[in-house]
Structures are given as C-alpha cells and as structure tokens.
C-alpha cells in the first residue's frame, strides 16, 4: 500500500479509528519521555546565561510552544482545505481537534513570553510585532473555536469554519507584515537558523531540541486523541438525531 492510498484511507472514520487506536498511546509515551527529558535537562542541568541569568531556562517552554502554536494553525489550514476540496469528514474533525491544542500553545507562548519580558525588557507586555501577532493569532483561534461551538449542524460548522480558516490565514499573514511595519520591536529574530554561527550555544541547544520534539509529539498525540473523540461525538450526534426522530 503506497503512502498516498494509506493516507487517504484515513478519511474513512472507521479506518481512522482502527489505525490510530494504537498510535495514540505510543505517541503519548514518546511525548512524555521527550518532554520530561528535555525539560528536566533544561531546568536542572544547564548553566545560566551570562546576560539573561536563569531566565534563559524559559526558552525550553517558550520556543517550542510558539512553534506549535503556529504549526497548529498551519495544520488547521491544511485540514480545512482537504475538507473543502475532498469532503473528508475526518479532516474537518481533525481541524476542530487541533484548535484547543493550538490555543493552549499560543497561551503558553504568550504567558512565558510575558513573564520573560518582565526581567528582560522591564515590562510584562510591550506591543512588539511578534508579541502582537501572537495576540492576533490567539484571537483567531478563539474566533475559530467559538464559531465551531456556535453552530449546531456539524457539516455547516465544518464548512463555515473552513472558510474562516482560509480567509483568516490570509489576514494573519497580512497582519504580520502590518505589525512589522507599525512597530520595530524588541524581540529577537530566529536563533535556530541553519547558520551555526548565530545559533544559541550548544548547551542550550540540545535540551531545546529535545523539548521541541516533546512538544511536537504531545501535539500529535493530543490532536489524534481529540480527533478520535470528535469522531465519536459526531457519531453520537448522528445517533441522537435518529433517536429523536424515532
């Protein structure tokens, strides 16, 4: 079975359920190991930075969370497109399941960033472009979830949230540029570039990678588990309607 046929077979709810039944526990265990490993390593066994002192330890939370916040939205975008084009229900439900995970990641990035900002920039909140665009992303997530919650009919909800996700993505990118234009900020640029010279020192780098892996795995595990729940809830919805009619 080629990759592409096995991928699309996930679109069948029953297939999806049986294929992921095993994956979720495995992913969860892996996520737990990487997360605990990365965070313990970062928190207990790395030195303080010469400028930032112990606050550098926040990086193991902040950066992976920020990463997954953005990737969560990307995943929703792709899943929405699949739903709109190929009408695979599982895809729409996966997008729905990704939203709460993504919003939590965004919130973690915002909170850890704010807490980091107090010692570094002397303020909890500054209208820095990156911070600001994260706040906007947070609002997008909220709106997206609220729209899902507000509509009774699941297929209507899937359609409307997908359209919102598409239009929202365009505007999210637009906001990013607008915000940059509006205010040159305090936040540092990407420090995980391929150019080794500019990377953070290795002592911080390795635990950071491990913790990132943990966040990614955790994200996957949660989204898959959430999708399974959404599928069951969708089936439950269908059955309840039958009962109501009978």
Tell the smallest beta-carbon distance from residue 1 to other proteins (Å).
21
From 117, 168, 207, 214, residue interacting with ligand HEM (rule: CB under 6 A): 117
Specify the stretch interacting with other proteins by CB under 8 A; choose among 2-10, 68-76, 98-106, 188-196. 98-106
Q: Is the dihedral of CA 133, 138, 142, 147 positive or negative?
A: positive
Does 100 help bind other proteins (rule: CB under 8 A)?
yes
Does 96 help bind ligand HEM (rule: CB under 6 A)?
no
Contact 11, 91 (CB under 8 A): yes
Q: How many residues does the chain have?
A: 246
Residues binding other proteins: what is the number (CB under 8 A)?
A: 92
Residues 31-70 that bind ligand HEM (CB under 6 A): 59, 62-63, 66-67
Residue 124, φ and ψ in degrees, nearest 5: -70, -40
Full DSSP string of 104-162: HHHHHHHHHHHHHHHHHHSSS----HHHHHHHHHHHHHHHHHHHHHH-SSHHHHHHHHH
123 binds, among other proteins, ligand HEM, none (CB under 5 to 8 A by kind): other proteins
Residues 64-93 that bind other proteins (CB under 8 A): 65, 89
206 binds, among ligand HEM, other proteins, none (CB under 5 to 8 A by kind): none
Write the CB contacts of 150 (distance below 8 Å, at least 6 apart in sequence).
157
Tell the smallest beta-carbon distance from residue 185 to ligand HEM (Å).
10
For the chain, the maximum distance between any two Cα atoms, rounded to a whole number of angstroms, is 71
Q: Which two tokens stand for residue 186?
A: 């305090």
Residue 228 to residue 97: CA distance in whole angstroms: 9
Distance of CA 217 to the CA centre of its chain: 11
Does 134 help bind ligand HEM (rule: CB under 6 A)?
yes
Is the CB of 28 or the CB of 199 nearer to other proteins? 28
Does 188 help bind ligand HEM (rule: CB under 6 A)?
yes
From 119, 191, 193, 201, residue interacting with other proteins (rule: CB under 8 A): 119
| Residues binding ligand HEM (CB under 6 A) | 59, 62-63, 66-67, 109-110, 113-114, 116-117, 120-121, 130-131, 134, 187-188, 190-192
């Amino acid at each position: 079975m080629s990759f592409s046929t096995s991928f699309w077979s996930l679109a069948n709810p029953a297939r999806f359920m049986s294929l992921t039944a095993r994956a979720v526990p495995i992913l969860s265990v892996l996520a737990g190991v990487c997360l605990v490993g990365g965070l313990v390593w970062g928190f207990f066994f790395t030195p303080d930075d010469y400028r930032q002192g112990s606050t550098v330890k926040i990086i193991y939370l902040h950066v992976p969370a920020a990463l997954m916040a953005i990737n969560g939205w990307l995943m929703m975008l792709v899943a929405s497109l699949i739903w709109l084009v190929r009408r695979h229900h599982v895809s729409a439900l996966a997008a729905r399941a990704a939203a709460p995970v993504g919003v939590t990641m965004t919130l973690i990035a915002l909170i850890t960033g704010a807490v980091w900002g107090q010692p570094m920039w002397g303020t909890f909140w500054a209208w820095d472009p990156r911070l600001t665009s994260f706040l906007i992303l947070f609002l997008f997530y909220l709106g997206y979830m609220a729209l899902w919650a507000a509509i009774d009919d699941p297929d209507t909800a899937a359609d409307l949230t997908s359209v919102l996700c598409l239009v929202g993505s365009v505007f999210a990118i637009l906001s990013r540029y607008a915000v940059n234009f509006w205010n040159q900020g305090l936040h540092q640029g990407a420090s995980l570039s391929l150019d080794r010279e500019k990377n953070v020192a290795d002592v911080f780098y390795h635990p950071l990678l491990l913790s990132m892996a943990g966040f990614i795995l955790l994200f996957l595990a949660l989204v898959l588990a959430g999708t399974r729940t959404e599928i069951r809830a969708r089936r439950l919805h269908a059955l309840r309607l039958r009962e109501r009619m009978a």
